[in-house]
Structure 1
């Protein structure tokens, strides 16, 4: 029973990390209708910037703020310089560009910060809470911080897109640029803002993931790109709530697979979940008919 509880808690914590990355994908999809496969590399770059500051004697929180601000700037620059020339063309063009950007940013990280693993000290303890004589190894102050951060981001995104004119303008720019322009929306600015905000959320995800793993390397986000994408598709690329639920469901499911069947089947299990979702409910668990038609 204790093993089941630990696997479940571990899955929830891992799933919250998947959810953080999935939220970044959802944000950029809702605001630009592009799936950014370079999101992980961009998050890794801002995480290494934060680590450089922390190693220089700054606190984790200073590093976090600088990472978020760096993500904001990098996201805006990438949209203006790299993505803007292919926006409005065939959708495959943007996908290929983001894949190329992923490779380029990873190479840049290796050049600037080296290829070796580096330790990352989490802001809170990773020692599990004790309940009586039982230690919950998967639930610690740091994992609670991760869960709270992910939930706050989810609430912020829901509020942005449902209750603000800015969120409405961003969605209008993504779905119909010409109509949005006729209504007075500055489409170019909205697309740039969408990329910038998505990069901020991705930077937060990178910091949370680094705190959970305690080690980072230029490729430390690679597996999270896959699992975060599956989580986003599972919940629905248009739904922040779906991203969180999809991340948690995926995390728990893969935790059970890892605990009872072994690590070698984790990747296969994620693939099976992705295929089943695409066959049964292509828009994700939280999709609507209107979303799929859009």
Structure 2
């Protein structure tokens, strides 16, 4: 029983990261109708910025804040200069552009930083909290608290502010929002900026759990985050969070109890979850089923 609880705790830590990146994917999809395959790579580049700043003596919390601000600006600029020129209904072009960005960002990291792993200082204290025979690392507690704060902040933003109402209006009907006088272009940029900042936070959470920073660090996280966004529903932030936590726990239990599965092999489970969801319930568990008039 103690081993089960320990694996449950470990799974929640990973699940918080998957949920954070899945939230970023959902936010982009809601505002622009595009699935951003490069979301994880954007977070990886932001984490390199955190490493570079802390390497020259900047306090880690200030470095994380700076990376999130730069990521916000970069995400908004990317939407303004490139994404806005893409028709989201042209799915082939969208996939090609997103795949190109994924490849480009990974190549840039490899060119400028190399493939060697780098250790990023954790914003959380070392050690763990003992709950009976189960030990909960402070990094796990911190990751869950950060996820909770992000969810609460987004809920307040989207439901209680004019900016949030504008973002929701654009997500529901971009054409009607433009006709009603809303600054659709600016709102789309803000949506991409917020998603990029969330991706930066997810990257920092990955390294806070003890993993080394390297160019391919976010690839497995992206697979689980995509699975979480698909399972929860690409138009549901709540679904992304719930599915992310569930997948994190499922991964931890599967690797622990199914002997033939290693950490890398478990990625196949996430892919199967995506395929089954798209086949059986394309809108996801929490998503809205859209009905087209014919």
2:162 to 148, 162, 165: 165
Q: 1:119 is paired with a residue of what secondary structure?
A: coil
- The match for 2:184 is 187
Cα RMSD for the two superposed structures: 1.8
> Would you say the 8 A contact 2:71–2:200 is kept in 1?
yes
Q: Distance in 2 between matches of 1:135 and 1:194?
A: 40
Length-normalised TM-score, structure 1: 0.92
Q: Is the 8 A contact 1:128 1:135 kept in 2?
A: no
| Superposition pairs of residues 121-270 of structure 1, within 5 angstroms | 121-132=121-132, 134-136=133-135, 139-261=136-258, 262-263=261-262, 265-270=265-270
Q: Is the 8 A contact 1:40 1:225 kept in 2?
A: yes
Distance in 1 separating the partners of 2:94 and 2:170: 17
Q: Is the 8 A contact 1:33 1:175 kept in 2?
A: no
**2: distance between equivalents of 1:94 and 1:172?**
23
**What is the CA deviation profile of residues 182-237 of structure 1, one whole-angstrom value per residue up to 9, with x for unaligned ones?**
10011111111111111111111111112113311011101111111101111111
Measure the CA separation in 2 of the matches of 1:90 and 1:274: 22
Q: Deviations over 1:126-175 (max 9, x none)?
A: 4332235x241xx2111111101111111222233333332232233344
Gaps of 5+ in 1: none
Shift of residue 278 of structure 1? 2.4
Any stretches of 5+ residues in structure 2 without a counterpart? none
Query: Is the aligned partner of 1:23 residue 2:23?
Result: yes
Bigger Cα displacement from structure 2, 236-245 vs 171-180: 171-180
TM-score, with length taken from structure 2: 0.92
1:69-97 Cα distance to aligned partner (Å, 9 max, x none): 11011101111112122135513322221
What residue in structure 2 maps to residue 35 of structure 1?
35
**Structure 1: distance between partners of 2:190 and 2:123:** 29
Superposed CA deviations along residues 3-61 of structure 1, whole A, max 9, x for unmatched, are 11111111111111110111111111111111111111111111101100101111111
Distance 1:186 1:90, change over 3 A: same
Q: Distance in 2 between matches of 1:124 and 1:254?
A: 24
Greater share of helix residues, 1 or 2?
Answer: 1
- Pair 1:278-2:278 in alignment: yes
Which residue of structure 2 lines up, in the alignment, with residue 50 of structure 1? 50
2:31·2:171 contact (CA, 8 Å) conserved in 1?
yes
Structure 1 stretches of at least 4 aligned residues deviating more than 4 Å after TM superposition: none
The structure-2 alpha-carbon separation of the partners of 1:193 and 1:293, relative to structure 1 and needing over 3 Å to count, comes to farther
Provide Cα deviations, 1:81-123, integer angstroms capped at 9, x if missing partner.
1212213551332222111011111111122222211112212
> Structure 1's 268 and 89: CA in aligned 2 closer, same or farther, altered over 3 A?
closer
Name the CA shift for 1:91/1:43 in 2 (closer, same or farther; >3 Å).
same
Q: For this pair of structures, how many residues does the alignment match?
A: 289
Q: Is the 8 A contact 2:88 2:94 kept in 1?
A: no
The whole-number CA distance in structure 2 between the counterparts of 1:245 and 1:177 is 27
Other-structure match for 1:68: 68
Give the whole-Å Cα distance in 2 for the aligned partners of 1:49 and 1:215.
14
